[in-house]
Amino acid sequence: MAETSQAQAGTPAGVPVNVRPQVATSRPEERGTLEVKTKALEHIVERVTLETPGTVVHASALGRLTGSRMPKADIKLVGNAARVDLDIAAVWPCCVTEIATGVRDRVLREAPRISGVDIRTVDVTVHMVELDSTDQPGRRVQ
Protein backbone atom coordinates (compact mmCIF):
# COMPACT_ATOMS: atom_id res chain seq x y z
CA MET A 1 0.00 0.00 0.00
CA ALA A 2 1.39 3.39 -0.96
CA GLU A 3 1.49 6.06 1.70
CA THR A 4 0.45 9.61 1.00
CA SER A 5 3.10 12.25 1.51
CA GLN A 6 2.41 14.59 4.43
CA ALA A 7 3.72 17.42 2.34
CA GLN A 8 0.65 17.23 0.13
CA ALA A 9 -1.71 20.04 1.07
CA GLY A 10 -0.26 20.19 4.59
CA THR A 11 -2.44 17.38 5.92
CA PRO A 12 -1.57 15.65 9.21
CA ALA A 13 -0.26 12.10 9.23
CA GLY A 14 -2.89 9.42 8.82
CA VAL A 15 -5.42 11.65 7.05
CA PRO A 16 -5.99 10.78 3.39
CA VAL A 17 -5.54 13.69 1.00
CA ASN A 18 -8.39 13.01 -1.40
CA VAL A 19 -11.33 12.31 0.91
CA ARG A 20 -14.78 13.14 -0.40
CA PRO A 21 -17.89 13.28 1.78
CA GLN A 22 -20.15 10.29 1.37
CA VAL A 23 -23.33 11.05 -0.51
CA ALA A 24 -26.50 9.07 0.12
CA THR A 25 -27.12 6.98 -2.96
CA SER A 26 -30.50 5.59 -1.92
CA ARG A 27 -33.82 7.29 -2.54
CA PRO A 28 -35.26 9.32 0.38
CA GLU A 29 -38.10 6.87 0.99
CA GLU A 30 -35.53 4.07 1.46
CA ARG A 31 -33.35 5.92 4.00
CA GLY A 32 -35.55 5.48 7.06
CA THR A 33 -38.07 7.45 9.03
CA LEU A 34 -38.20 10.13 11.68
CA GLU A 35 -40.30 9.30 14.70
CA VAL A 36 -41.30 12.33 16.75
CA LYS A 37 -42.28 11.53 20.31
CA THR A 38 -45.21 13.28 21.97
CA LYS A 39 -42.98 15.02 24.54
CA ALA A 40 -40.74 16.43 21.82
CA LEU A 41 -43.76 17.75 19.94
CA GLU A 42 -45.04 19.36 23.15
CA HIS A 43 -41.74 21.23 23.52
CA ILE A 44 -41.84 22.35 19.88
CA VAL A 45 -45.41 23.64 20.20
CA GLU A 46 -44.63 25.45 23.47
CA ARG A 47 -41.53 27.09 21.98
CA VAL A 48 -43.45 28.18 18.87
CA THR A 49 -46.19 29.58 21.12
CA LEU A 50 -43.73 31.78 23.01
CA GLU A 51 -42.56 33.28 19.71
CA THR A 52 -46.07 34.70 19.21
CA PRO A 53 -46.43 38.33 20.32
CA GLY A 54 -48.58 38.73 23.43
CA THR A 55 -47.81 35.35 25.04
CA VAL A 56 -45.87 35.07 28.30
CA VAL A 57 -44.48 32.35 30.53
CA HIS A 58 -46.55 31.96 33.67
CA ALA A 59 -46.59 29.61 36.66
CA SER A 60 -48.83 29.88 39.68
CA ALA A 61 -47.38 29.48 43.17
CA LEU A 62 -48.40 25.82 43.14
CA GLY A 63 -47.14 25.48 39.57
CA ARG A 64 -43.69 26.66 40.67
CA LEU A 65 -43.60 23.84 43.22
CA THR A 66 -44.86 21.16 40.84
CA GLY A 67 -42.97 22.40 37.79
CA SER A 68 -46.05 23.13 35.70
CA ARG A 69 -46.29 26.36 33.76
CA MET A 70 -47.87 27.96 30.73
CA PRO A 71 -47.67 27.62 27.82
CA LYS A 72 -48.67 24.00 28.27
CA ALA A 73 -49.38 21.77 25.28
CA ASP A 74 -51.36 18.54 25.50
CA ILE A 75 -50.80 16.43 22.38
CA LYS A 76 -52.92 13.57 21.10
CA LEU A 77 -50.70 11.84 18.54
CA VAL A 78 -52.04 9.07 16.28
CA GLY A 79 -49.57 7.95 13.64
CA ASN A 80 -48.29 11.10 11.97
CA ALA A 81 -51.31 13.27 12.86
CA ALA A 82 -51.74 15.31 16.02
CA ARG A 83 -54.39 17.26 17.85
CA VAL A 84 -53.11 20.04 20.11
CA ASP A 85 -54.83 21.47 23.20
CA LEU A 86 -52.87 24.50 24.32
CA ASP A 87 -53.11 26.62 27.48
CA ILE A 88 -51.33 29.95 27.17
CA ALA A 89 -50.92 33.05 29.33
CA ALA A 90 -51.32 36.66 28.24
CA VAL A 91 -51.00 39.88 30.20
CA TRP A 92 -54.22 41.82 30.75
CA PRO A 93 -55.27 44.06 28.97
CA CYS A 94 -54.86 42.54 25.52
CA CYS A 95 -56.85 41.43 22.50
CA VAL A 96 -57.54 37.78 23.32
CA THR A 97 -58.81 36.86 19.86
CA GLU A 98 -55.69 38.25 18.15
CA ILE A 99 -53.36 36.36 20.48
CA ALA A 100 -55.33 33.09 20.23
CA THR A 101 -55.55 33.35 16.43
CA GLY A 102 -51.86 34.25 16.17
CA VAL A 103 -50.84 31.27 18.32
CA ARG A 104 -53.09 28.85 16.40
CA ASP A 105 -51.82 30.04 13.01
CA ARG A 106 -48.16 29.97 14.07
CA VAL A 107 -48.44 26.47 15.56
CA LEU A 108 -50.23 25.17 12.45
CA ARG A 109 -47.49 26.65 10.24
CA GLU A 110 -44.27 26.14 12.22
CA ALA A 111 -44.73 22.94 14.25
CA PRO A 112 -45.28 20.71 11.16
CA ARG A 113 -42.32 22.36 9.43
CA ILE A 114 -40.04 21.63 12.39
CA SER A 115 -41.37 18.20 13.40
CA GLY A 116 -42.80 16.68 10.23
CA VAL A 117 -46.00 15.85 12.13
CA ASP A 118 -49.34 16.81 10.57
CA ILE A 119 -51.09 19.11 13.05
CA ARG A 120 -54.83 18.68 12.42
CA THR A 121 -56.31 21.00 15.06
CA VAL A 122 -55.09 23.50 17.63
CA ASP A 123 -57.45 24.49 20.46
CA VAL A 124 -56.14 27.50 22.38
CA THR A 125 -57.28 28.54 25.87
CA VAL A 126 -56.02 31.97 26.93
CA HIS A 127 -55.49 32.63 30.66
CA MET A 128 -55.21 36.28 31.66
CA VAL A 129 -52.47 37.14 34.14
CA GLU A 130 -51.07 40.27 35.74
CA LEU A 131 -47.66 41.49 34.64
CA ASP A 132 -46.23 40.91 38.12
CA SER A 133 -47.07 37.18 38.01
CA THR A 134 -45.24 36.35 34.78
CA ASP A 135 -41.93 34.52 34.75
CA GLN A 136 -40.40 36.80 32.12
CA PRO A 137 -36.76 37.61 32.81
CA GLY A 138 -36.49 41.14 34.10
CA ARG A 139 -33.75 43.66 33.58
CA ARG A 140 -31.14 43.73 36.32
CA VAL A 141 -29.33 46.83 37.38
CA GLN A 142 -25.94 46.34 38.99
Per-residue confidence band for 89, with pLDDT thresholds at 50, 70 and 90: very high
Considering only 45-54, 85-94, 97-106, 132-141, which range has the smallest mean pLDDT?
132-141
**139 domain-assigned:** no
Q: Percent of the chain having pLDDT more than 90?
A: 54
**3 domain-assigned:** no
- The CATH number given to whatever domain includes residue 67 is 3.30.70.1350
**15 domain-assigned:** no
What pairs with residue 81 in β-bridges? 78, 118
Q: Distance between CA atoms of 52 and 137, rounded to whole angstroms?
A: 17
The number of folded domains in the chain is 1
Determine the structural domain holding residue 113 and report its residue range: 35-133
Q: Decide if pLDDT at 101 tops 80.
A: yes
Output the pLDDT for position 27.
73
pLDDT tens per residue, range 10-64: 555 555 555 555 555 677 667 666 566 899 999 999 999 999 999 999 987 776 7
**42 domain-assigned:** yes
pTM exceeds 0.75:
no
**57 domain-assigned:** yes
**142 domain-assigned:** no
**29 domain-assigned:** no
Instruction: Spell out a b/e string for 100-126, using b for 16 or more CB atoms within 10 Å of the CB, else e.
Output: bebbbebbeebbeeebebebeebebeb
